[in-house]
């Protein structure tokens, strides 16, 4: 996978989307699309062209977990690498996300190093 | 025994005495019998009056609490919602302002670093070249060759000065943008006070009605998420940090 990867960042807070977008830019991934919840994100994913999904959990409309389930249920998107970036920290939730098929789980507040480490790990495994 | 039979037992003799006095025209006996009946009724009447007074007092208290609650519902809760929405707006604006300034400053710092790196390389190359030569002629050549480096330095230094000044200004603005915390803090504190008052009013109402209220839980949809962990509020088995999350996931084979 090259640095030309296109990311979709899904978070209901525009500031958090901007922070993630900036960090991705610094990591050498300038190609980033944004959505504010699962309902907006799903059609964007289905339209194609997105290589990596980073999503929050707690959002109005369609929450992140539901989005991941929808992605995994869609034959065209089923293999999409997904990183969950969320404030949800209950162990049962982390297990639930893992069962829903996330490739990585980062809890907020997070550091640039953690994000880089998880991206590298997921992309390394996908390669 | 029926209710009427009880009444007959309690009052039969008095009523008998009363009608006896009436028939016999005995005024003293008549009033004595009436007084006796009234005394018999007194305790019940007093209990009844006491109960009514209590009910009235409760109703008045209830009315007081309920009108306070009505005021909460009509004015203060909507106000609190507006105030909290304003807090979100202010934090959002401050975060975007900060991000704007960071995004503006990044490229300036990057440009300084990039151009400085080019100059460092040129200077290094020139020094290496000059060290390997000797004589006046080569000294002049070296000086001529050095001129472009000097020009590049002359162009670079004002840019560095301007960029650094801009970065310094941006940092001062980042500092100012943090002023939102004072304002939002005050607004949130006033909303906490309102929630406390509401809590008190609801607790008094519960005490008045004397009913044991079953602990009600808010209808939660776990799929929606619970939001950030709030110390002292969030219950359940929580991951202590990213390391904890990583361990949990690796335990699941991820």
With cut-offs at 50, 70 and 90, classify the pLDDT of residue B132: low
Contact B40, B15 (CB under 8 A): no
Of the candidates A43, B95, A76, A29, the residue with the CA atom closest to the CA atom of residue A10: A43
Percent of chain B with pLDDT over 90: 37
Chain A residues whose beta carbon lies within 8 Å of the beta carbon of residue B225: 57-59, 63-65, 86, 88, 93
What confidence tens digit (pLDDT) does each residue in B133-159 have?
667 777 777 788 888 889 999 999 999
Structure tokens at B75: 């004015």
CATH 1.10.287.500 for domain B3-210: yes
Output the pLDDT for position B212.
57
Closest CA–CA distance from residue A58 to any residue of chain B (Å):
5
Contact B10, B40 (CB under 8 A): yes
Output the pLDDT for position B222.
67
What confidence tens digit (pLDDT) does each residue in A18-57 have?
999 999 998 999 999 999 999 999 999 999 999 999 999 9
What CA–CA distances, in Å, run from B126 to B113, B121, B122, B146, B154? 20, 9, 6, 7, 17
Q: Whole-prediction pTM value? A: 0.72
Average pLDDT over residues A3-28: 92
Of the candidates A101, A19, A34, A12, the residue with the CA atom closest to the CA atom of residue B225: A12
CB atoms inside a 10 Å sphere around CB B232: 5
With cut-offs at 50, 70 and 90, classify the pLDDT of residue B217: low
What confidence tens digit (pLDDT) does each residue in B50-78 have?
899 988 888 888 888 888 888 888 889 99
Cis amide prior to B163 (ω within 30 degrees)? no
Output the pLDDT for position A127.
59
CB pairs under 8 A between A and B: 76
What confidence tens digit (pLDDT) does each residue in B91-101 have?
999 999 999 99
Residue whose entry in the numeric block shows the structure tokens 């190093």: A113
Contacts of A91 (CB under 8 A, 6+ apart): B236, B237, B238, B239, B248
Contact A94 B248 (CB under 8 A): yes
Nearest-by-Cβ selection for A66 from B223, B228, B239: B223
B230-238: long-range contacts at Cβ-Cβ below 8 A with a sequence spacing of 24 or more?
B234/A89, B236/A90, B236/A91, B236/A92, B237/A90, B237/A91, B237/A92, B238/A89, B238/A90, B238/A91
Nearest-by-Cβ selection for B236 from A64, A90, A98: A90
> Domains, chain A, ranges and CATH?
7-126 (3.40.50.2300)
Chain A residues whose beta carbon lies within 8 Å of the beta carbon of residue B223: 63, 65-66
Hey, where are the domains in chain B?
Answer: 3-210
Contact A110 B242 (CB under 8 A): yes
Mean pLDDT, chain B, whole residue set? 87
DSSP B245: H
Contacts of B107 (CB under 8 A, 6+ apart): none
What confidence tens digit (pLDDT) does each residue in B193-206 have?
999 999 998 888 88
Structure tokens at B61: 């208290």
Contact B242 A106 (CB under 8 A): yes
DSSP A1: -
What confidence tens digit (pLDDT) does each residue in B4-38 have?
888 888 888 888 888 999 898 989 989 998 888 88
Half-sphere exposure of B175 (CA within 13 A, CB side): 6
Contact B224 A63 (CB under 8 A): yes
Contact B248 A91 (CB under 8 A): yes
Sequential DSSP letters for B157-225: HHHHHHHHHHHHHHHHHHHHHTTHHHHHHHHHHHHHHHHHHHHHHHHHHHHHH------------GGG-
With cut-offs at 50, 70 and 90, classify the pLDDT of residue B213: low
């Amino acid at each position: 996978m090259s640095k030309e990867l296109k990311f979709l960042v899904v978070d209901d807070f525009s500031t958090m989307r901007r922070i993630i977008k900036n960090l991705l830019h610094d990591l050498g991934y300038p190609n980033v699309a944004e959505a504010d919840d699962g309902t907006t994100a799903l059609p964007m994913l289905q339209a194609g062209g997105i290589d990596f999904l980073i999503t929050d959990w707690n959002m109005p409309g369609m929450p992140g977990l539901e989005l991941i389930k929808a992605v995994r249920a869609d034959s065209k998107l089923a293999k999409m690498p997904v990183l969950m970036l969320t404030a949800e920290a209950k162990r049962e939730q982390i297990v639930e996300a893992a069962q829903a098929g996330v490739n990585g789980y980062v809890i907020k507040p997070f550091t640039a190093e953690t994000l880089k480490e998880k991206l590298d790990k997921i992309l390394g495994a996908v390669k | 025994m029926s209710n009427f039979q009880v009444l007959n037992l309690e009052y039969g003799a008095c009523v008998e005495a009363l009608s006896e006095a009436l028939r016999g025209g005995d005024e003293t006996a008549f009033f004595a019998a009436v007084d006796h009946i009234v005394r018999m009724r007194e305790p019940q009447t007093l209990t009844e009056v006491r109960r009514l007074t209590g009910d009235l007092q409760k109703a008045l208290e209830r009315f007081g609490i309920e009108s306070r609650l009505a005021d909460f519902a009509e004015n203060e809760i909507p106000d609190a919602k507006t105030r909290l929405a304003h807090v979100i707006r202010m934090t959002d604006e401050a975060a975007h302002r900060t991000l704007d300034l960071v995004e503006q400053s990044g490229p300036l710092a990057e440009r300084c670093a990039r151009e400085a790196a080019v100059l460092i390389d040129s200077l290094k190359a020139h020094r290496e070249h000059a060290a390997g030569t000797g004589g006046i002629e080569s000294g002049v050549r070296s000086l001529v060759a050095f001129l472009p480096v000097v020009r590049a330095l002359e162009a670079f230094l004002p840019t560095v000065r301007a960029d650094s000044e801009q970065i310094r200004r941006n940092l001062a603005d980042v500092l100012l943008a943090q002023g939102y915390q004072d304002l939002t803090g005050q607004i949130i504190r006033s909303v906490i006070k309102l929630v406390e008052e509401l809590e008190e009013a609801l607790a008094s109402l519960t005490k008045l009605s004397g009913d044991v209220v079953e602990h009600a839980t808010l209808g939660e949809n776990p799929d929606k998420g619970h939001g950030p962990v709030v110390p002292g509020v969030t219950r359940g088995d929580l991951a202590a940090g990213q390391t904890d999350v990583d361990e949990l996931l690796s335990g699941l084979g991820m």
